[in-house]
């Protein structure tokens, strides 16, 4: 069986675990309609991504 050669420090352990910790997806702002939109996602209200229309959105 593998045995750890030395004790992992609290900081090292916590730093490693922090990499897999859940964090809320960052909210950006649409450059076209200024609606809040998740980063790397097409805008749900106007259907544009990086200044280009990529979705067909019904405008009510």
C-alpha 44 chain-centroid distance: 16
Q: Is 12 exposed, middle or buried (0-12, 13-18, 19+ CB in 10 A)?
A: exposed
Q: Which 16-45 residues touch Zn ion, going by CB under 5 A? A: 30, 32-33, 35, 43, 45
Residue 13 in the binding site for Zn ion (CB under 5 A)? no
Shortest distance, position 5 Cβ to Zn ion, whole Å: 54
Shortest distance, position 57 Cβ to Zn ion, whole Å: 9
Distance, in Å, from the CA atom of 20 to the CA atom of 14, rounded to the nearest integer, reads: 10
Please report, as ranges, the residues that interact with Zn ion according to CB under 5 A: 30, 32-33, 35, 43, 45-46
């Amino acid at each position: 069986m593998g045995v750890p050669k030395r004790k992992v420090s609290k900081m090292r352990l916590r730093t490693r675990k922090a990499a897999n910790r859940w964090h809320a997806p960052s909210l950006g702002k649409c450059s076209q309609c200024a609606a809040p939109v998740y980063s790397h996602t097409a805008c749900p209200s106007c259907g544009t991504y990086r200044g280009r229309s990529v979705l067909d959105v019904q405008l009510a």
